[in-house]
Structure 1
Amino acid sequence: MTASPETGPLSTPADPVSVEVTDRLPPAAVAEVLALLEAALAADGVRPVSEESELRLQHGGVPSGSDVTARDAAGTLLGYARLELPAGAPDAEAELVVAPAARRRGVGTALLARVEELAGDRPLATWAHGQLPGSTELATGRGYTQARVLLQMRRPLDGVDPDPHPALPAGVTVATFRPGTDEDAWLQVNARAFAAHPEQGRWTRTDLELREAEAWFDPAGFFLAWRDGRLLGSHWTKVHPAGEAGDQPIGEVYVLGIDPDAQGMRLGRALTDLGLAHLRARGLSHVLLYVEEDNTAAVSLYERSGFTRFAVDVSWRRSPAR
């Protein structure tokens, strides 16, 4: 949810705002939304919607998803929201962004009100990336409360061993991901490792293959630990280009997951060391990761590993009136 970093009261639109809902935007409208996302990133310094929402905008998603757009009388795009009504999940989920030039005109309110209507009787959870003041004001003003807090943590890579030789358990070997071969094994371990995670644990083969098709995907930075043909865990790294997460390119601990049956083998530390070394070899100076704030054990572990808190994303949640 990116409304506005400015101060001042929210207002009713000076001009009529038309809010439209579609299962899939046509290519020309997708291009408009992508341009709006770029403008919001440049204005706010934070990506306005998640990677998942952007992928579904471009490639489509589950049948229960919708794209919601706000336009003025001339047809100019003022704002965008992505709504998901995942089957089997109690909450509807949304993200929204308002064009920087259209803020403080009630566009965010109009978008959020329409998304609330679409959510119906389900509670609605919406992410505010970067915890901008306008997003907080919009959410609290409509009765939302904080449900989750996601920390972005960062550390420099200059102290990373460029050639680690981690001690692996007997019989364990590490290899890089093989597109077209390792998908099923990785998805099984990912689902087990993140069974309690509301987003990561639901990934499908389509979700994985969409990311494999992205320009940033690099199997050389995707490390898998095997023993006797069984996948035990993995560390998938990512590189953000300059301008996406800062002025310079930056690495990410994208997905680090260990099968529950392999916990206690110190595979997480070994795979982390290999991934960080790979990112340093790419010439990067820093790395980021995301972790739930209430996962105190993981936060403490990352802090001991040199990571410090950098930014915050907040999931706001509201139950419909009964």
Structure 2
Amino acid sequence: MFSFESFLDLPLVWYALIGTAIFLYILLDGFDLGVGILFPFAPSDQCRDRMMNSIAPFWDGNETWLVLGGGGLFAAFPLAYAILMPAFYIPIIFMLLGLIFRGVAFEFRFKATGKSRRIWDYSFHFGSLTATFMQGAVLGTFVHGISVEGRNFSGSAFDWLNAFSLMVGVALVTGYALLGATWTIMKTEGATQDWARQSARYVLLFVAMFMGLVSLAMPMMNSDIKALWFSLPNFYFLQPMPILSAVFFIMLWRDLRTEREYRPFLLTLGIFLMNYIGIGVSTWPWLVPFKLTLWDVAAAPESQSLLLLGTVFLLPCVLAYTGYCFWVFRGKASHEHDAAY
């Protein structure tokens, strides 16, 4: 009888799948959340219309990856889900409320006029800001670690309110804002593009500052992370990540002073990728940091095999649909209210 577990390390496969889904969510929903963060600061209503239309075909589909990541964690690593969720209930509830409120504002804004449109503009902004900050707080709490006794969460509902998680929340706001600005550079032109280029230069400084602070804080908080990054020969093996991050920053800083339109967005994706890999390396192989590994919390092999069988067919369909959307809606965004392009 055929079974995946006979030749695959299923917990490792699911760890990679969930990690990929979360990364794709960060990149794809990151740029439209970033557009929302920058939204009220755009110089005119026409600029805001262009920004909104640039993400109109993508924003709801981008959230598919969040569902895949969360659903995959629940199905493939139920014990990790049961331990982590009580620690994250409050920020996740606020994140979901922000996403819902943002989606409602997105739809109502197209029908509103005058002062009511301004209300929905700010609703879109604060929904995006709340969702982003809470995602960063969850990430910061995950890296910081939670209180666990045996196989249960033993902390309080407000343990996520610590200095590091709040800093990571603000850091992610600046990071998504950079993604949103470089996306706007790529998808708009004229006054909107010029404003986005200036905004990206300004935000880039804050992204660099927060990246430095987070990178310094993580080894100071955890001796295992410090030993991983600064012991030999690990130090030499892991150097490409910070070096590539620095190269991407320098190239992006230069590109924002030229007329380049596509490479700033790709370089921003590269910066996010290097940081994401860095966090993954720092927390490997823990799924409940730094208490339980991914093998400790995995579901039964039979369950993971069945789930993987469905994912093998579903995931290519989602990827194909996502790629098709980006291909069909390529090009510059219009400011017309009734059409994205």
Give TM-score scaled by structure 1 length.
0.25
Higher relative contact order at CA 8 Å, sep ≥6: structure 1 or structure 2?
Answer: 2
- Greater strand content: 1
